[in-house]
Structure 1
Amino acid sequence: MRNTRTLTRRAALGAVSVTAALALAACGGSGDSGSSGDAGSNSSASASAGTGSTAGAHNAQDVTFAQGMIPHHRQALEMAALAADRASSAQVKDLASRVEKAQDPEIRTMSGWLTAWGEDVPAASGGAAESMPGMDHSAGSGMPGMMDGSDMDMLKKASGADFDTMFLTMMIEHHKGAVDMATTEKSKGTYQPATAMSDAIVTAQTAEITEMNKLLGKG
């Protein structure tokens, strides 16, 4: 199943590359900062979520959310860091910068929650897909939207317009996975700062998915 998904993604990357190049060129240097406010609100929510001792008790879902979203965010940061010297589009570089500014503070906040709860903070990894704590992934599947080692290797080797297309295509899938995880937290979590962060993630990353689809010529 994993090989099929990877092959399908690689075929899709080739199919959209020309359209994406045209769409990015059409955007020129104007930049699309439409979701920058969303990314900012995401960071603000994470900062405020880390404060306030009267936010209420947490449950197992809150722990699962934090332990899963931390490595998920870390991989997004790894992908975003590559854009600085590999992307050719100013819009892609701007988006990557906003991803870093929004998600790095959230990692610190969620790590603080887990420490306060006496739970394990996921160790940093090399960016390959990690299993969600407490979930059965015996078939080898990872968290929603996570890239595997071969995906990350492809992205690291790409540059210019090819990188732009690959980055946007992969980050859309990555964001969709984060939205799924955050939606589950919103419905099943009990810790108010965690559900507030999940709501901010859904809002910001849904807006960025729309932005990225436009850059690929799909919107």
Structure 2
Amino acid sequence: MTSKTSSRTLFRRAALATTAVTAALVLAACGGDGSSDGAADAPAASSPASTGAHNDQDVTFAQGMIPHHQQAVEMAGMAADGASSAAVKDLAARIQKAQDPEIETMSGWLKTWGEDVPSAMPGMDHSGGHSSGGGSGMAGMMDQEDMDKLSKASGKDFDTMFLTMMIEHHEGAVEMATTEKTKGRYGPATELADAVITAQTAEIKEMNKLLGKSGA
């Protein structure tokens, strides 16, 4: 009886030891998939970041769309005092509400990627506008003269000027977003680009209708 018991105990210990060795080998094999020995945890930690892999187009999109959005928000802010139409004021408020968070989101991406975040107040910074370094990346941006005219307008003149300028501005944003959707790599950026295309295309239609009403 005692010899049987002791042989069973030995067998169990041997089985447990084999299991432990097997488990250790499996863990080592999993860790070995990483590029370095001490970084067994690194692949798991960075795998969400691999979803976040980005390319130059993603950087260009964020760096271009941030000042683009900032200018739209600046224009929308003028509507609170300048616009006479409740519909224009409502549209401007919606533009502000939608684009402010998107500016924060894209700024966060650029910081994470170690890239420069464009400075605020683009309407003031881009007084040379279209000709300086922005090119197609800044499609639809107003120059300083346009912004000055809008800031001085009021009533129905403001409404017409705001809608005309914002349609052009939105068309530029849709163009930029379409390029990102086609050539970008970073999932959240291409999703944002798709959202910009959908929302701003709808707003362009809305603004064209408002222009039609004001011109009637």
**Same fold per TM (> 0.5)?**
yes
2:202 corresponds in structure 1 to: 207
| Alpha-carbon displacement from aligned partner over 1:109-133 (angstroms, at most 9, x marks no partner) | 00000000000000113515749xx
Q: 46, 59, 67: which one pairs with 2:55?
A: 59
The equivalent position to 1:91 in structure 2, one of 87, 90, 99, is 87
Structural RMSD (CA) = 2.5
**Equivalent in the alignment of 1:160:** 155
Q: 1:139 to 1:178 in 2, by over 3 A?
A: closer
Query: What is the match of residue 15 of structure 1?
Result: none
For residues 163 and 55 of structure 1, the distance between their equivalents in structure 2, rounded to whole angstroms, comes to 45
1:56 Cα shift? 3.0
Distance change (3 Å), C-alpha of 1:58 and 1:126: closer
- Are residues 1:125 and 2:95 paired? no
Partner of 1:192: 187
Matches within 5 A, 1:39-50: none
The aligned counterpart of 2:212 is 217
Deviations 1:43-76 (A, max 9, x none): xxxxxxxxx7563300000000000000000000
- 1: CA distance between counterparts of 2:109 and 2:67? 15
Deviations 1:142-177 (A, max 9, x none): 710000000000000000000000000000000000
Aligned pairs, how many? 165
Higher helix share: 2
Q: Give the Cα–Cα distance (whole angstroms) in 1 for the partners of residues 107 and 135 of structure 2.
A: 26
**Aligned position for 1:82:** 78
Segments ≥4 residues shifted beyond 2 Å: 52-56, 128-131, 136-142
Q: Which has the higher contact order (CA 8 A, sep 6+)?
A: 1
Unpaired runs of at least 5, structure 1:
1-51
Gaps of 5+ in 2: 1-47
Describe the shift of the 1:106–1:140 C-alpha distance in structure 2 as closer, same or farther (beyond 3 A): closer
Q: TM-score, normalised by structure 1?
A: 0.70
CA distance in 1, matches of 2:105, 2:134: 31
SS for the counterpart of 1:216 is helix
Task: Give the secondary structure class of the aligned counterpart of 2:212.
Answer: coil
2:146 aligned residue: 151
The share of aligned pairs that are identical, in percent, is 73
- Alpha-carbon deviations, 1:174-205, whole Å to 9, x = none? 00000000000000000000000000000000
SS in 1 for 2:54: coil
What secondary structure, in the 3-state scheme, does the structure 1 residue paired with 2:121 have? coil
3-state SS, counterpart of residue 115 of structure 1 = helix
What letter corresponds to residue 83 of structure 1 in structure 2? A
Contact 1:128 1:147 in 2 (8 A): no
